[in-house]
Amino acid sequence: MREKGLLGLTALMLAALALLLGLGFWQLSRLHWKQGLIAQIETRANSAPISLEEAETLAREGRDPSYFRVSVEGRFHHGREQYLYAVSDGRVGWHVVTPLETADGQMVLIDRGFVPDALRDPSLRPAGQIESVTTATGVVRVPDTQGLFVPDNEPQANRWFWRDLHAMARTMFQQRIIEVAPFFLDADATPVPGGWPEGGQTRLDIPNNHLQYAITWFLLAAALVVVYALYVRSLYRRRNSLE
């Protein structure tokens, strides 16, 4: 190979090496971020509950209240419950999302938990439709954004595939302007009369594979250097054998 060709190959190798190393270091930065996020989730999810007002204040200040535990007292409006498609432990069904109104008129949407498809009709689980004032405790979850492969919600059929808070609130209250808390509460695993809905559905074990990804990129970078070095050595050996 001519010197010019070798210089071109070297430049290409260095560009690829820089890319691989950049991806590796980016994954290390993501690892640091993910470790901090997991620690924050564990701290918030295992702390004493805060009030609904405190969680709303955090949201108004632009701070993310996700995974804080909140305890709120009020009455459920069961006639307005909505159904969010879910799979829990291999069971296909729905999360029951119900507005709860406090004594001073505050409204918050509670994801009460999972029911199998056969129990979507609330008349089949009457014991769980608590009519008296009750206390709900759960973790804060901010509204979703629709993913690329997530179906559109079907408000008219009361079938939801992602948590669009404003659309769900409008549908619950039939287009009336009702101010609700700017987040959902995922109910904890406190037993419900009759067993349904089944709370405690929030996934707290967030995957963290960034270290493995970083190692993969660094190994690819090392392999590239080794292959390049062996190739260049073979070129010089061939040239020396011809002299």
Domain span at residue 98 reads 68-195
Whether 102 and 167 share a structural domain:
yes
Task: Tell me if 47 is assigned to some domain.
Answer: no
**pLDDT category of residue 237 using cuts at 50, 70 and 90:** confident
Q: Does a structural domain hold residue 228?
A: yes
**Looking at per-residue confidence, does 239 or 170 come out higher?**
170
Amino acid letter at 157? A
**105 plus 23 within the same structural domain:** no
User: Crossing angle, helix 210-242 and helix 3-45, to 10 degrees?
Assistant: 170
Instruction: Verify that 141 and 99 share a domain, yes or no.
Output: yes
d(CA 5, CA 63): 55
Structural domains in the chain (count): 2
Asked whether residue 95 is domain-assigned, the answer is yes
Residue 27 lies in a domain: yes
Whole-prediction pTM value?
0.84
CA 138 to chain centre: 16
Q: Are 164 and 190 within one domain?
A: yes
Same domain, 213 and 190: no
pLDDT tens digits, 164-213: 999 999 999 986 778 899 999 999 999 999 999 999 999 988 899 999 99
At residue 47, the pLDDT reads 94
CA-CA distance, 201 to 187, in Å (whole number)?
A: 8
For residues 18 and 77, state if they share a domain: no
pLDDT digits (tens, 9 = 90+) for 36-92: 999 999 999 999 999 999 999 999 999 999 999 999 999 999 999 999 999 999 999
Residues 94 and 159 placed together within one structural domain of the fold: yes
**235 falls in which pLDDT band (50, 70, 90)?**
confident
d(CA 235, CA 49): 69
3-state SS, 109-176, equals: EEEEEEEEHHHCCHHHCHHHCCCCCEEEEEEEECCCCCCCCCCCCEHHHCEECCCCHHHHHHHHCCCC
> Cα-flanking dihedrals φ and ψ of residue 100, to 5°?
-120, 135
Same domain, yes or no, for 85 and 182? yes
CA-based nearest residue to 178, from 78, 89, 107: 107
178 in a domain, yes or no? yes
CB neighbour class for 65 (10 Å; exposed up to 12, middle 13-18, buried from 19): buried
Q: What is the pLDDT of residues 209-227, one digit of tens each?
A: 999 999 999 999 999 999 9
Q: How confident is residue 107, by pLDDT bands cut at 50, 70 and 90?
A: very high
